[in-house]
Amino acid sequence: MKNRPSGFGIEKLPRLVRGEGSYLFDASGKRYLDGSGGPAVFCLGHAHPEVNAAIVKQLHEVAYAYRYLFTSSALEALTETVLRLCGGEFQDIIYTGSGSEAVESALKVALQYFAARGLMKKRRFVARRRSWHGNTLGALSVSGFAQRRKAFEGSLLDVTFVSAANDYRRPAGVSAQALAGHLAAELDAAILAAGPQNVAAFIYEPIVGAAGGVVPAPEGYAEAVHAVCRKYDVLVIADEVMCGAGRTGSWRALEHDRVVPDIMSIAKGLGGGYIPLGATLVSPGVAAPIRAEHGAYMTGHTFSGHTAACAAALAVQRILERDRLLERVRTAGAALQDTLRRALAKFDEVGDVRGRGYFIGIELVADPVTKAPFPADRALSFDIGARAFADGLICYPCSGNVDGTAGDTIIIAPPYNASDEELEEIVVRLGRAVEAALSSR
């Protein structure tokens, strides 16, 4: 894999010149259907006229009001909207420029919370293997993604890792019904081994994205691990950067699991890719001691709450609500997953098709009985990604989901407003790419 090119296996990156809805166009005039929303970012597609107009209007007024001197109507309206969409479960929002920064802020808020309570020994984080939380050193430290960590080992935080929550790849001897309880017991044991007095928070993705190829946790898992954390005074951080903001058909992915985390990070679908924006949401229980002891959160950046970015995100969220696009994601997403499963059923190598809403993962295996992955040097997912790209379809190939090196998955995550015809085109073109890649061996 040393010589794997950038751009998901694409040798030479084309120069992009225009976007329109679910399509992108390069300088040669070639059209690409964005079947993965880039990396699950573009929830409204490209060049939406209302979002563009909102950005232009804000730029004419003021591009950016420094957050620590001014507030703005865009920031205030976005804050009110996001808190409402989250069901009133959170109190404060810390805006960032990316998902990685949102996770970094979540980690810092957890540490500040215990500092405010005088519990300075609670510094350790627990995370899961086969997880991805971002590129900053703190976010990378809690990521169980060997390929992306390797170059930085030795400078990362000392983090306790527990097993991934993957029903397709259960531990030997553990049934589907017993999986959630088994994983909760493992988390319990890990906290005890580290010492509950030392553990600040458990961080996890409700649905794992790039590190696992869209892996929803088994039913009952979220409730079980939240109960473990409550027992030991450990905070729960939900990383919904990739799976949140409507991607699964509910604004919070954990709505499906009937739980609320103490801290939550969001990004991609928040602003839809129009201007970079992320956010860390803080529950009232975490906010109270911080405000009482310190007065404010000790995290933030120069461009926190960037005014034009907030205006863009506000426009995106208003359109999602007005056009009832989360309902569209719930209903059409289930149908899309079924259609993909049927279309790919002829390939024995397609071991699993999974996900929720417009967040769908396809795992390919060398042996469907043993679930053995293809050799890492085969780079099958990147082969499929490159072939799809050449055929005018953008999908999101990922590798290493089995052991950090081997394992091939493809993510499909279209814009929420993609048409039925565009969804069908995704299925057809992906099927062609899978067939061509598998037949080339």
CATH code: domain of residue 435: 3.90.1150.10
Query: Is pLDDT at 8 greater than 90 in this prediction?
Result: no
Reduce the DSSP state of residue 158 to 3 states and report it. coil
**Whether residues 296 and 423 fall in one domain:** no
| DSSP string across 149-169 | HGGGTTSS---EEE----GGG
Q: Are residues 279 and 381 in the same domain?
A: no
Residue 5 scores a pLDDT above 60: no
Instruction: Please tell me whether residues 108 and 229 are part of one structural domain.
Output: yes
Identify whether residues 371 and 292 lie together within a single domain: no
Are residues 354 and 278 both part of a single domain?
no
Residue with tokens 């003021």: 62
5 located within any domain: no
Mark whether 295 and 418 lie in a shared domain: no
Integer CA distances (angstroms), 34 to 213, 380, 392, in order:
17, 20, 9
Same domain for 188 and 70: yes
Query: Are 202 and 183 a contacting pair, CB within 8 Å?
Result: no
Burial of 7 (0-12, 13-18, 19+ CB in 10 A): middle
Residue 135 within any structural domain of the chain:
yes
Indicate which CATH number applies to the domain containing 246.
3.40.640.10
| The token pair that represents 234 in the structure block | 């450990």
User: Is 235 in the same domain as 113?
Assistant: yes
pLDDT tens track for 284-304: 999 999 999 999 999 999 999
Kindly state whether residue 45 falls inside one of the protein's structural domains: no
Let me know if residue 10 belongs to a domain. Answer: no
The residue with tokens 């390797």 is 150
Residue 326 confidence (pLDDT): 98
Collapsing DSSP to helix, strand or coil, 92 comes out as strand
Among 283, 301, 322, the domain boundary falls at: 322
Phi, psi for 433 (deg, rounded to 5): -65, -45
Q: What tens digit of pLDDT does each residue of 141-192 get?
A: 999 998 899 999 999 999 999 999 999 999 999 999 999 999 999 999 999 9
Query: pLDDT tens digits, residue range 225-250?
Result: 999 999 999 999 999 999 999 999 99
Same domain as 247, residue 103: yes
Q: Which pair of structure tokens corresponds to residue 262?
A: 């103490």
Instruction: Give CA separation, 256 vs 218, 330, 345, 359, in Å.
Output: 11, 11, 28, 14
**214, 157: one domain:** yes
Domain holding 417, by residue range, is 16-34+324-439
Q: Which of 292, 322, 352 is the last residue of a domain?
A: 322
d(CA 183, CA 73): 45
pTM listed for this prediction: 0.96
Give the up-direction half-sphere exposure of residue 241: CA atoms within 13 A in the CB hemisphere. Answer: 32
What is the distance between the alpha carbons of residues 31 and 365, in angstroms, rounded to a whole number? 31
Sheet order of strands, 408-412 included:
350-356, 359-364, 408-412, 396-399
One domain, residues 237 and 281? yes
Report the DSSP pairing between strands 235-239 and 199-204: parallel
Closest CA to 257 of 292, 220, 288: 220
End-to-end CA distance of the chain: 17
pLDDT tens sequence across 302-344? 999 999 999 999 999 999 999 999 999 999 999 999 999 999 9
Quick one: CA torsion of 83, 86, 91, 93, rounded to 10 degrees?
A: -60
Cβ atoms of 374 and 364 within 8 Å: the answer is: yes
Same domain (yes/no): 260, 219: yes
Give residue for tokens 């946790």: 217
CA gap 371, 373 in Å, rounded = 6
Q: How many independent structural domains does the chain possess?
A: 2
Last residue of a domain, one of 287, 303, 322: 322
Per-position b or e across 367-381, b if 16+ CB within 10 A of its CB: eeeeeebbebebbbb
In this structure, which amino acid lies at residue 78? L
What integer is the mean pLDDT of 109-114? 98
